[in-house]
Each structure stands twice: as C-alpha cells, then as structure tokens.
C-alpha cells in the first residue's frame, strides 16, 4: 500500500487500485509517485498480466486533483506535474505485462489519459468519458492529445477535448474508447476472466507482441528495437563464446 495506490499480487495477476474514493480517485502527487513505484515493482515481479481500477463505484479517476496542481508555480507544474506525470503514464503503457483497465465509474481528464495506457478497457455501464480540461483553461496534459489520438482516433478526441462531449459507456464502446461493457460491480470479475485467457498464451510471445504493437503505434519504437535485438543477442552462441573468451582472457573465435 502506498499513498492512494494499492498493489496486490494474486498469483500471476497484479491488481493496481487507485485508492482515494472520497476524492473520486483524483490523482495527487503522492499517487503519481505511487504509480511509478507500482510500475517498477510489477515490471520485476512474477506477474504476467496487470489490472488497473479505482476504489469505490463512482469514479475510476476524475483525473488530476485540481487542488494539488493549481497550487504549483508554472515551473513546478511543468516540471513535476506534467513531465513526471508523463514518465509514469509512459511506464504504465510500456509495462511488459498486458494491462487491463476496469473503468468502474467516471473516467475524465487525466483518468481517461490513464485508461488510454491500458491494452484492454472494460467499462461498467454507469461510467462516463470525457476531457473537460479546456473548460478550466488548461490542456489535456498527460498525453491527452497524443496517446489518446493514437489509440482512439483524432475525431473522438476532438469531440471530447475541443467540444466538451461526454460519452456514456455504450457510446464509448461504439467509438472504440472501450473494448467491453459490463454491469456495475462486475468489472473486476470480467477482467479476471480476460486475464485468465491471457495466461493460457505464451508469456514470451505475448510480451514481444505487445512490444511490437507499441512500436507500430510509435509508443516506444527505439526501446523495442533495442530490447528485441538484445534478447536475440543474449541467447546467441556468439555471446557464449565471447563471454567464455573474456573469462579466460583469450581472443574469441566466432
């Protein structure tokens, strides 16, 4: 348990819960830092799939806590709130494990940007989706005009971010914002069922395929190329010969 973020490992499934229901799971600085630590821990755990949800049944996340970021100076806002927030959201989107988001209520602003990091989104029927930032005089800052456009399409994002449209779960399904709709309170059970299907697939092939899809989206192209090439080289006979020669202080014969 970290401030506002709870992480539980259930066998091969990691469950991340935004745990600030009294504030509609709005993200404050400690929660952003907690998500960063959760990503590091899960990345190095035995988990093969991760589930992200919010505590309670009213809101997945209402986005960034206005009281938290509005008190920052412009320099602090840009340096921590935007830049550090980006690093955390990037880490979620680039987890080696597939990430399933259970959207168990309102998914607004930064909450929608958080949901966009997931590989699969399950919405409970009472959830709502929107990007209200411009109505406050601010922009969608956590890749709300970048990753969201890549994953949802530019026109859908225009409707939310420029014109303030808010979509219900069924409309969100038709627009491709979510992959599945279920009844209130059923999201976690549905996510566990989806996770179990993933666990029947090759873990290495799944990890590599996720990386390649991310690269096709422009999510992490350079890192993907380095990682896949590195894995290939690490398993080669050439490396074994090179390491043996190094240990014996000899010139390798490839």
Cβ(82)–Cβ(145) below 8 Å: no
Cβ(148)–Cβ(92) below 8 Å: no
Give the DSSP H/E element, type plus range, for residue 108.
strand 106-108
113 in active site? yes
Candidate list 113, 183, 186, 217, residue with the active-site label: 113
133 in active site? yes
Give the DSSP H/E element, type plus range, for residue 130.
strand 128-130
Candidate list 8, 133, 165, 253, residue with the active-site label: 133
CB atoms within 10 A of CB 88: 22
As a whole number of Å, the end-to-end CA separation of the chain is: 50
Beta-strand runs (E) in 147-223: 167-168, 180-182
Q: Which two tokens stand for residue 16?
A: 């991340």
What DSSP character marks residue 132?
Answer: -
Query: What's the gap between Cα 65 and its chain centre?
Result: 18
d(CA 42, CA 68): 27
Q: Which two tokens stand for residue 231?
A: 């894995």
CB atoms within 10 A of CB 252: 14
Query: What's the gap between Cα 105 and its chain centre?
Result: 17
> Catalytic residue numbers?
113, 133
């Amino acid at each position: 348990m970290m401030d506002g973020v709870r992480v539980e490992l259930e066998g091969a499934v990691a469950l991340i819960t935004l745990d600030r229901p009294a504030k509609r799971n709005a993200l404050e600085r400690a929660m952003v830092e907690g998500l960063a630590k959760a990503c590091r821990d899960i990345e190095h755990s035995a988990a093969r799939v991760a589930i992200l949800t919010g505590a309670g049944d009213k809101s997945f996340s209402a986005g960034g806590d206005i009281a938290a970021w509005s008190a920052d100076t412009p320099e602090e806002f840009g340096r921590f709130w935007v830049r550090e927030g980006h690093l955390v959201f990037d880490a979620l989107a680039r987890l080696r494990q597939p990430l399933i988001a259970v959207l168990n209520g309102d998914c607004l602003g930064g909450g929608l940007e958080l949901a966009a990091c997931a590989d699969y989104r399950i919405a409970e029927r009472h959830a709502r989706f929107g990007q209200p930032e411009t109505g406050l005089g601010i922009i969608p800052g956590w890749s709300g005009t970048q990753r969201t456009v890549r994953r949802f399409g530019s026109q859908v994002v225009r409707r939310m971010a420029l014109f303030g449209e808010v979509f219900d779960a069924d409309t969100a399904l038709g627009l491709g914002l979510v992959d599945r709709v279920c009844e209130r309170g059923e999201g976690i059970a549905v996510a566990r069922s989806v996770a179990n299907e993933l666990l029947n697939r090759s873990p290495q092939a799944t990890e590599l395929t996720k990386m390649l899809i991310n690269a096709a989206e422009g999510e992490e192209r350079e890192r993907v190329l380095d990682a896949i090439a590195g894995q290939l080289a690490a398993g080669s006979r050439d490396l074994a010969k090179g390491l043996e020669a190094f240990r014996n202080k000899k010139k390798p014969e490839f």
